[in-house]
Structure 1
Amino acid sequence: MTDHNIDFSMVLASAVHDMKNSLGMLLNTLDELRTEHEESLSGSSKFNMLQYEAERMHNDLVQLLGIYRLGENNLSAHIDEHFVPDFLSEHMARHVPLLDGLGIDYAIEADDINGFFDDDLLTGVLNNTINNAIRYTKTKIRLTAREQDGYLVLGVEDDGTGYPESMQHTGTLSFKSLDFNSGSTSLGLFFASSVAKLHTEGDRTGSITLHNGGKYGGGVFEIWLP
């Protein structure tokens, strides 16, 4: 007899996990290819597009898995202490080959501070946000970190046209409020907001903000962690 009682969400989650791992291997191979054939590939718009889109798909799959775990109530934050400038440098380094290939300037302006957060969850948020900034920037991206009002504030800024009015936001997002017609951006913002909410201290909860301005006058994404 065929078992019709299949938990399709679990099947999907398993498939997404496998695809995420395969894309991770593909991204590593693309980095190696770029290094081996730097002269011919670094300025190749097709190769840069391939790497960008593979990174974007990988980020989407990481977020889908996170949201699945959130729905199953088994996504939690494992808080450790991290030296923030080093954490940001590691994540910028992952994107440097593509940034160089696209001719995008990048900078990190972080106070010498320690933060308490789940580095795996924040990695998913940062990678997606940097990838979005690469998509919309003209020539510059910067990562920022500061302490403000008892919160660690991590930011990603670019010099693009900024967030449209409908996307500018402060606080937390609900799944029902998302507009999936705007593409994967909404998924990324919901994931970032969910990760922020998992970081709590006393009666304070993490949140995200989207606005325009910053040093470059473009879009500014910030995640506030207590």
Structure 2
Amino acid sequence: MNRIFFRFFMLVMLSITAATFVIYFAMSRLFGDPLEDIARRQSSAQIFLIEQYVDAAPADEWLARLNRVREVSGTRFDLIPLPKARSFLPAVDLGALDRGEVVLDVEGKSFYRRVDLKGERYIGSEDDVIHVQDLPIDVSLALQMEAVRYVIVALALLVPIALWSRSHWQGLQSLSRVADEFGAGKLSARAHMQASASIYPLAERIDHMADRIEALLVSQKNLLHSVSHELRTPIARLEFALELLDAKALDPALKKRIAAMEGDVLELNSLVNELLGMARLDSEQALYLDTVDVAALLRSAKAALPPGQPVVGVDATPDAGTVEADARLLGRALSNLLRNAQKYAASTIRMTARREAGRVVLAVEDDGPGIPVEERERIFEPFYRLDRSRDRATGGFGLGLSIARKAVVRHGGSLTVEASELGGARFVVVLPQG
């Protein structure tokens, strides 16, 4: 946000500077150089002596008057040949010199003027030039005045712009804060700006959008939670009925069919539990933070894994230490990652933990078929599975990885997937504090 207003400030400053130079060159082109005009006014006494006193003398007294001026003036008056004077001046000033005009040299604090265009003062006067040096020219004051003008103009523009921008900046900061809070899961965050605010129309639209999103999400959570709870009662009835039916059934084929039905009910019950767990993660419940030993957490997740192949290895470096976390929730995330790895691994699963740049990095990897690059984000979507079949051979409902990511994000961390050195997938959990 600050970058926007810094760039705006720099643009205004550059515009003022550019306008100052444009005005200076335009005035110079149309009315002459302002600095030369100042220097001419400062040299007006010496120019007056030449034009009104020395030049007013009769031809035979011209040199005498010039010498008297030399004696009483603190300025140096010299006569130099015309070619020499022409060599001192730039090409643009040669025409004015040839016409008999006073040509100022502001930097040299001097001016040049031909003695006579027709040779009437004395013999050879048409080839001489008066060179007056050590003139009281000082343009520094003029430059200071121009700088003061520039500062006054800049302040006159920047102060109103700063006041106008400040209200915009505060409003945008408020909207940015609301966006951060809303994105972090605080669905009640709103801008609540006054109608007089400059960006009130934008804030009002954002608040309306947030209201609609909050209503949709709350409705979705309530529906998911209600449906999950309502399903528990008929599932319990089915389980009870199947147990009674199994106890009275004598036909082996019927018993086999009842067992299959019990498996379906068990799968449905697991789905309801997953949905309830997901609803709880979305309900903004507070975390029960505690100091958790990372190595013990990995061993606990391994112990909770259903027995069978593949082999699970645990490697926690000594610096893994502890982490502030909700042990139950973080353990649930690791268990979901382990069950996913067990489903696809060929023979080996490896769990590692280390501390890296002040963060705790946990990884679960396997030697299974891996996950295509284009699918590595979609697998965290609820109900999304690489294997579209729904039979028990593949198992799962596509919720385990979604729940794992939500649990890690609730801790302020991240969960990503990449290729493993073992040949399969590598799920990486990064927790920001230890």
Question: Which residues of 2 match residues 43-62 of structure 1 at below 5 A?
Answer: 58=270, 61-62=272-273
Say whether the 8 Å CA contact 1:13–1:68 is kept in structure 2: no
> How far off is 1:10 after superposition?
3.8
Aligned residue for 1:64?
A: 275
Q: Does 1:209 align with 2:413?
A: no
Secondary structure (helix, strand or coil) at the match of 2:429 reads: strand
Percent same amino acid at aligned positions? Answer: 28
Q: Which secondary structure does the structure 2 equivalent of 1:91 belong to?
A: helix
Higher Cα radius of gyration: 2
Q: Cα deviation per residue 1:147-188 (whole Å; 9 max; x = unaligned)?
A: 122221111111111112223249xx6x6xx57354657422
Structure 1 segments of 4+ aligned residues over 6 angstroms from their partners: 16-21
Q: Which has the higher helix share?
A: 2
CA contact (8 A) 2:311 2:349 kept: yes
Q: Is the 8 A contact 1:140 1:158 kept in 2?
A: yes
Structure 1 portions without partners, runs of 5+: 1-6, 22-50, 201-205
Cα separation, 2, equivalents of 1:84 and 1:93? 14
RMSD of aligned residue pairs (Cα, Å): 3.5
Is 1:191 matched up with 2:399?
Answer: no
Which 5+ residue runs of structure 2 have no aligned equivalent? 1-221, 237-262, 389-395
**Aligned counterpart in structure 2 of residue 14 of structure 1, from 229, 253, 261:** 229
| Residues 336 and 401, structure 2, Cα contact 8 Å, conserved in 1 | no
Q: Which structure carries more relative contact order (alpha carbon 8 Å, separation 6+)?
A: 1
CA displacement, residues 50-72 of structure 1 (integer Å, 9 cap, x when unaligned): x9xx79x74x555422321244x
| Distance apart, 1:125 and its partner CA | 1.2
User: Residues 62 and 124 of structure 1 are in contact (CA less than 8 Å); yes or no, is this contact kept in structure 2?
Assistant: no
Q: Give 3-state SS (helix, strand or coil) of 1:180's partner.
A: coil
Q: Is the 8 A contact 2:225 2:276 kept in 1?
A: no
Aligned to 2:353: 145
- Give the direction of change, closer, same or farther, for the CA distance of 1:143–1:69 in structure 2 (3 Å limit): same
Counterparts of 1:151 and 1:89, CA distance in 2 = 20
1:126 is displaced (CA, Å) by 1.4
Show the counterpart of 1:123: 331
Name the structure 2 match of 1:110: 316
Contact 1:66 1:75 in 2 (8 A): no
Q: 1:127 to 1:153 in 2, by over 3 A?
A: same
1:74 corresponds, among 270, 274, 284, to 284
Distance 1:94 1:18 in 2: 28
1:217 shift after superposition: 2.5
Relative to the length of structure 2, the TM-score reads 0.35
CA gap of 1:81–1:163, structure 2 versus 1, over 3 A, is same
Alignment partner, residue 341 of structure 2: 133
Q: Which has the higher strand share?
A: 1
Q: Which position in structure 1 is the counterpart of 2:384?
A: 180
Counterpart CA distance in 2 for 1:107 and 1:19 is 41
